[in-house]
């Protein structure tokens, strides 16, 4: 399968713990996005990378959140000192650049439950 893959698919953690999600984009895609989706809502943009550069961060991305894409391939999203309000699905997506109309493809998401 050559789609966007995310790991883990589900994570249950205690409040205050740190969690990290990994995303492997489609191999030829140089853009990588992180979104968050809560029940009954559409996905909300968090941040995106072009290659290894983080080009935009949403105000939703508090200082407890950090995303990296060190070699321009896979990316990690870490949440420190988790809170119950962080419970959501974290979606990763990727696309190629060069043409503004390129489609963004989504992974299956990583469900986070903070108890």
Point out which residues bind other proteins (CB under 8 A).
31, 33, 40-45, 48, 50, 55-56, 91, 93, 100-101, 103-109
Cβ distance to other proteins smaller for residue 19 or 32:
32
From residue 91, how far is each of 59, 60, 64, 72, 99 by CA, in Å? 17, 14, 18, 18, 23
10 Å Cβ neighbour count for 43? Answer: 18
Q: If residue 38 lies in a helix (H) or strand (E), which one and from where to where?
A: none
Cβ distance to other proteins smaller for residue 12 or 55:
55
Cβ distance to other proteins smaller for residue 27 or 100:
100
Q: How far is the CB of 53 from other proteins (least distance, A)?
A: 12
């Amino acid at each position: 399968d050559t789609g966007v893959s995310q790991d883990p698919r589900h994570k249950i953690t205690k409040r205050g713990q740190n969690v990290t999600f990994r995303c492997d984009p489609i191999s030829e895609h140089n853009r990588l996005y992180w979104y968050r989706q809560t029940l009954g809502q559409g996905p909300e943009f968090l941040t995106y990378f072009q290659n290894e550069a983080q080009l935009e961060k949403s105000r939703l991305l508090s200082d407890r959140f950090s995303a990296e894409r060190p070699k321009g391939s896979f990316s990690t999203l870490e949440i420190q000192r988790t809170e119950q309000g962080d419970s959501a699905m974290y979606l990763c997506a990727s696309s190629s650049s060069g043409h503004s109309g390129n489609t963004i493809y989504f992974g299956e998401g990583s469900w986070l439950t903070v108890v």
